[in-house]
Chains A and B, each alone.
Chain A
Amino acid sequence: MRRRQNQVALFVIVVVTAFSIAVTWPGDPDKYLPDFIPWPSGQGLNIGGFDRDEFRLGLDLAGGVSVTLEVSGEASPVRRGETLNEFAARQDESIETLLDLNSALDDLEPEEYNRPIPEEITTLVLPLDPDLDLSEEVEQARLIIEERVNGFGVSEAEVTIVGADRINAQIPGVTAQEAAGLVGSTALLEFREVDPDHATQPEPVDLIDVRETIFDAFDATFQQENFPIPPRLTGTDIPDPDVDVILAAPPGGGAEQRWIKAVRWLNGEEVALNGTFLIADSITRTLDAGGQPALSFEFDDDGAELFEQITSDLVISQGRLGIFVDGQLISAPTVSAVISDAGIITGLDEESSQALRRQLRAGALPINFQTIQQTEVAATLGEDSVVDTVQAGLIAFLAILLFMVIYYRLPGVLAALALVVYASMVMATFKLVPVTLTLAGIGGFVLSVGLAVDGNILIFERMKEELRLGRSLQGAVEAGWNRAWPAIRDGNVSTLITVAILWLFADALNANLIKSFAIALLVGTIFSMATAIFVTRIFLQALIGFRLTRRPWLFGIRGMPPLEESAGRRRRAESSGD
C-alpha cells in the first residue's frame, strides 16, 4: 500500500518537474549554454491557453527607467490674463511663498507682478496643507501618468502609489529623458471641437455599423499608428454611443489633427476653453433624466461665456464636444442644447463616470510632484547582466550537485535530483506567476538554493547517524527525516520572518529591488521546505527494496555490514561505538 502511494508520488514529481523544465527552458539556450551542443530551442510549448513566454525581468535586467515622484505642493491653474498679484489674492497666499515654490517665476521682475502672468505658465504651485488628505489626488495623478505611459506605446509599464504621497513608475525600454516627459508635467483638461476645415462631418450613421468596422480594423497595425485611444476603449469594452470616440478617430486619418482647440471670444480676445475655467468642486456624479449615471460640471463666469458660444455653434452644426486630458480624448458627447455655466455628460456607465470624474478633476486640479528617485539602465547593460548571472548560476548549481554526489554518494545523487526538481519548480513559478526578476531577486533565489541544499544535508547527516547506530534503511530514512525537521522548520521560519520584514520596509527602502528579493526568497523558502518534506523523502523511500542500496559505502559509511532493509533490530549490538 505504502509502496504504491510512493510510486504515485514519484510519478507526480517526475511529471511536474518535466513540465517545469519545459516551462523554464529558454527560447535561445545558446546564449547561456556552451554553443557547440545543439540545444533544443524555440518557444515550442503551447498547450491550450498556456503559452510559454519570457521571464518577466525587472528594469535592471530588461533596461528602462524607474521614477519616484512625491507630492510637493498643489498646482492651481492660472487664469488667462491674470496678474501675479491677482492670483495671490485669489489664492490667499503671499507673493514670497509663490516665488519660493515656483521656479518658473524666477525670471519675473517685481514690476511685472502687476502685469499678466506669461502665457506659458498655465499653473502655479501652492503650498501644501499638511492636514489635507491627498489620496484621491494622488490616485488621479497616477491614472494620468498611466494613461500617458500607455499612450506612449510602452508595454508592461507599472505605475503604482507608494506610501501615501508617492508615485512610482516603472517604464521599460525608454530613456530617462523620455520618461521625464511622461511623468513630469501636470495634466491639462481641454475642450476641443472638430476642425471645420477638415469637416468630414458624418452623415447620420448607424453607430453599431461603425463600431464593428472600427473593431474589425483594430489590429496591431492600427495601434502602431499611435492613435490617442483611451485605454479603457480597447478590448471588448465598447462605449455607449453617447460617449462616442469612434467618430473622432476613424482609421486612416490622424485623429489629433481633426480636433482643434475650441477657441471663442472673451473680452475681445480669442481664448481656448480649458480646465482652468472649471470649478473643480462642481464636478459630481449624478443621474440623467433616464436614471443613468452622468457627470455634471460648472464653469466660472468666463468659462460660462466661452462655453455658451461653443455649445450654441455645436447645436447648429450637430458636432461633438471633445473632452481631452493631456491630449488624450476622454469623451466626445453630443451637445443637445446651448449650455452656459453648467452642463451634464450623459451616456456613461457606473465605472466610466467615476473614471471620467477623476480625470476631469485631475485636469482641473492637479497636484504638483517632484522627482525624488530615478534610475535608468540601458537595455544592453541589462542583457549583459542576465547572461553573466545565468552562467554564474549554472556553474554554481553544477558545482553544488557535484559536491553533493561526491560527498553523500547515493543520497547525494538523490539530493542532486531533488535540487533539480526544486530549481525547476521555483523557476517555473517565477515565470508563470509571473514574479519580476531583478539582480536582487536572483540573489534571493541563490540564497534559497542554499537553504534547499541545507535541508537535504540536514536529513542525510541525520540518516547517516541513524545508519551508524545500526538502524534499518527504512528506519533511518524515517528517523533521519523526523530528527532533521525541527531544525529545517526553525531555520526556514526565521528566513520567512526576514522576508516579512523586508516586505514591510520595501516601500520605504527601494521598493522594487527589495520586493523582488523578498518574493524570490519567499517562493524559494516555501519550495525548499516542500522539497525537504516531500521530494527528498519520497526519493529516499523509493530506494528501499533495491538490493544495491544495502551497501553502506553508498551512504558514505565505512566498516559496517550490509544494511537491513526494514525493521531490523540490530541497533543495540552496534551502537556501542558512539
Chain B
Amino acid sequence: MINFVGLRRYFATLSFLLLIPCLVALALWQLNPGIDFDGGIELEVRFLRTVEADTVVETAEGAGLEEFSATITDEATFSASWTFAEPGNPDAEDQALVDALEAEIGPVQVIDAQAIDVNLGVELEFWFPATVTQEDVRDVASSIDIPDARIQETGDATFKIRAEEPDDGSIEELREDLETAFGEQIGDFFVRSSAAVSGILSAEIAEDASIALVIAAIAILIYISLSFRRLANPALYGAAAIVALLHDITIVVGVFSILGQVFDTEVNAMFVTALLAIIGYSVNDTIVVFDRIRENRLANPDEDFRTSVNAAITQSLGRSLNTSLTLIVALVALFLIGGVTVRPFVLVLLVGAVAGTYSSIGVASQIVVLWSEGSFHKLIRVGPRPARDRAARASA
C-alpha cells in the first residue's frame, strides 16, 4: 500500500504550481473568444486558377500520357486517370503529369494519388492554386471597410478571414460583400467553410455556457451526495469531487488562455461541449476512487480513515492509470490524424483527462481526508499547531 495521504504536501505543491500560471494567464489574457462568443464572421476561402479540362487533357497528351482522361468536380478539383507507359512506377507517372502541368499551366496541388493497379494505371486528383498573397486578401478587406479583419493563411492559396459584426448592417450582408469583393478583385474561389454569428446570439451563448457548467456541477454534487449517503458526511464527497472538478477546469481553461495568447487558439461552442465532457470524465474518475473509500469504510468502519483512503487509492491506481492511458491513446490518435477542425476539441479532452486522473488522487481524496481530520490549514505549515486539531485527529 502506498501512503498517498502522506504525499499530500507534494500534491498540493504540484497543484498550486499548475494552477498559478493558469490563473495568472486567465487574469492577464482571459480566453481568446471565437465568433461563437464574440460575434462576427469567419470565412475560409480557396482561390483557384480556372483551367478547362480540355487544357489539362491536351497538356497530358502532349507529355505522352496514354489513354488520358480528366474530369472537373464542383470545386474545380480535377480527377485524371491514365495508363502506364512503363508498368510498375506510379510515382514517376504522377510526377510526369505534375511536371507537364506546371510547365504549361502553373502550380499544381495534388490531393490524392492512387494506383488503380500496379500494372494498369494511376488516378490523380489535383487542383490549380491561384497566386494570392496575404496582402491581396488584406486589400480586399480594406476595400469593403473591414481593415481590422484578421487574415490567416491556412493552406495553399487558402485564407481564413475573421471580421467583427458591422455596426450598420447584418453579418449576412458582410459575408455577401466579402464574397462579391473576392470575386471581383481576386478571381475564382470557393468557400471551404464560413461561419457567422450575430452579437445577440454570441452574448447568449456565453451566458448559457456558464449556467450550463454551474448546473452540471450542482447536479453531480447532489447525485454523489445521494450515492454516498451511507457514509458519514456524504456531501463532503460531492464537494470534494466538485473542487477536483474546478481544479481540472481551471487547468484546461488556463491552458487555452495560454494557447490563445501564444498560438491564437480560439474557444468556441465546441470548447464548451468538451468542457462539459470533462466534467463527466473528471467526476467519473473521482467516483471510482471514492467508491473504494466507500467500500473500505463500510467493510471496516473502525479502520483509520487515512488507511482506508490510502488503500482505496492504491487499489484503484491500476484501473485509473489504465483507463486514462487508453483514453489518452485514443485522443492522441484523433489529435494527430483527425484533422485540424477537431484539434482544439481533442486537446480539451486530453488535458482534462490527465488532470482528471491526477485530481482524483491528488485533490479530491486529499480534501476528503483533510476535511474529515479538520486539518486543512496544516497543508501550509504556518505558526504553531493548534491543540484542537491534535484532539480531532486523535478522535479520528
Contacts and interface: CB of A to CB of B under 8 A. Distances in A.
Contact of B325 (A68, A403, A465, A513): A403
Contacts of A514: 269, 273
A154 interface: no
A175 B194 CA distance: 10
A568 interface: no
Interface string A380-396: 11001100110111011
A495 B284 contact: yes
Interface stretch (A215-223, A251-259, A317-325, A498-506): A498-506
A498 B216 contact: yes
Given A378-B191, A400-B326, A177 B212 contact: no
18 contacts: A370-B172, A374-B171, A374-B196, A375-B196, A378-B193, A384-B339, A385-B339, A388-B339, A392-B336, A403-B326, A443-B346, A447-B349, A454-B288, A487-B288, A490-B224, A497-B280, A498-B277, A500-B219
A439 B193 contact: no
Interface size class of A (residues with CB under 8 A): 35 or more
A229 to B, nearest CB: 27
A486 B329 CA distance: 26
Interface string B99-117: 0000000000000001000
The 7 A-B residue pairs with the shortest CB-CB distance in the complex, in nearest-first order: A396-B333, A491-B284, A392-B337, A396-B330, A510-B269, A388-B339, A508-B208
A124 B220 CA distance: 50
A422 to B, nearest CB: 13
A408 B156 CA distance: 47
A505 B211 contact: yes
A309 to B, nearest CB: 40
A528 to B, nearest CB: 11
A389 B272 CA distance: 21
B198 A450 contact: no
Contacts of B75: 378-380
Nearest to A63: B193
Interface string A413-447: 00000000000000000000000000110111011
Contacts of B291: 486-487, 490
Given A501-B212, A505-B211, A508-B204, A493 B223 contact: yes
A397 B326 CA distance: 9
Interface size class of B (residues with CB under 8 A): 35 or more
Interface in B294-318: 294-295, 315-316, 318
Contacts of A70: 200-201
Contact of B196 (A373, A486, A497): A373
Contacts of B191: 175-176, 376, 378
Given A400-B326, A490-B287, A517-B273, A497 B216 contact: yes
A232 interface: no
Given A493-B223, A499-B280, 16 more contacts: A176-B175, A176-B179, A176-B194, A376-B195, A378-B192, A384-B339, A385-B339, A388-B337, A399-B329, A439-B345, A440-B270, A449-B330, A451-B284, A453-B326, A454-B323, A458-B288
Contacts of B58: none
Interface of A: 35, 60, 68, 70, 103, 175-177, 180, 184, 370-381, 384-385, 388-389, 391-393, 395-397, 399-400, 403-404, 407, 439-440, 442-444, 446-447, 449-451, 453-454, 457-458, 461, 465, 483, 486-487, 490-495, 497-502, 504-505, 508-510, 513-514, 517, 521
Contacts of A372: 171, 197-198, 200-201
Contact of B287 (A176, A494, A521): A494
B341 A439 contact: yes
Contact of B345 (A378, A400, A440, A502): A440
Contacts of B285: 491
A60 B195 CA distance: 11
B345 A443 contact: yes
Contacts of A446: 330-331, 334, 349
Contacts of A461: 315-316, 318-319, 322
A272 to B, nearest CB: 29
Contact of A513 (B269, B315, B323, B326): B269
B171 A371 contact: yes
B164 interface: no
A447 B337 CA distance: 17
Contacts of B280: 447, 494-495, 497-499, 521
A68 B284 contact: no
B329 A403 contact: yes
Contacts of B77: 380
A396 B334 contact: yes
Contacts of A391: 337
A494 to B, nearest CB: 5
B194 A458 contact: no
Contacts of A504: 212, 215
B330 A399 contact: yes
A176 B209 CA distance: 27
B248 interface: no
B165 to A, nearest CB: 10
Contact of B114 (A35, A395, A483): A35
Contacts of B325: 403
B152 interface: no
A513 B175 CA distance: 22
Interface string B272-285: 11101101110111
Contacts of A492: 284
A371 B170 contact: yes
Nearest to A502: B276
Nearest to B353: A450
A453 B295 contact: no
B345 A509 contact: no
Contacts of A385: 339, 341-342
B227 interface: yes
B190 interface: yes
A374 B198 CA distance: 9
B295 A483 contact: yes
Contacts of B287: 487, 490-491, 494
A457 B323 CA distance: 7
A521 B278 CA distance: 12
Tell which of A60, A175, A451, A493 has the most Cβ of chain B within 10 Å: A493
Given A491-B288, A494-B287, A501-B219, A457 B175 contact: no
A375 B194 contact: yes
A381 B291 CA distance: 45
B135 interface: no
Nearest to A514: B273
A157 to B, nearest CB: 18
Interface string B211-239: 11001100110011001000000000000
Contacts of B270: 439-440, 513
Contacts of A103: 169
A400 B284 CA distance: 19
Contacts of A378: 75, 190-193
Given A68-B201, A388-B337, A400-B330, A490 B227 contact: yes
Contacts of A377: 192-193
A513 B171 CA distance: 21
A389 B334 contact: yes
A447 to B, nearest CB: 5
A560 B394 CA distance: 40
B184 interface: no
A572 to B, nearest CB: 17
Contacts of B204: 508
B281 A450 contact: yes
Nearest to B205: A509
B74 interface: yes
Tell which of A103, A465, A491, A501 has the most Cβ of chain B within 10 Å: A501
A395 B175 contact: no
A396 B329 contact: yes
Nearest to A501: B216
B176 interface: yes
B12 interface: no
A493 B220 CA distance: 9
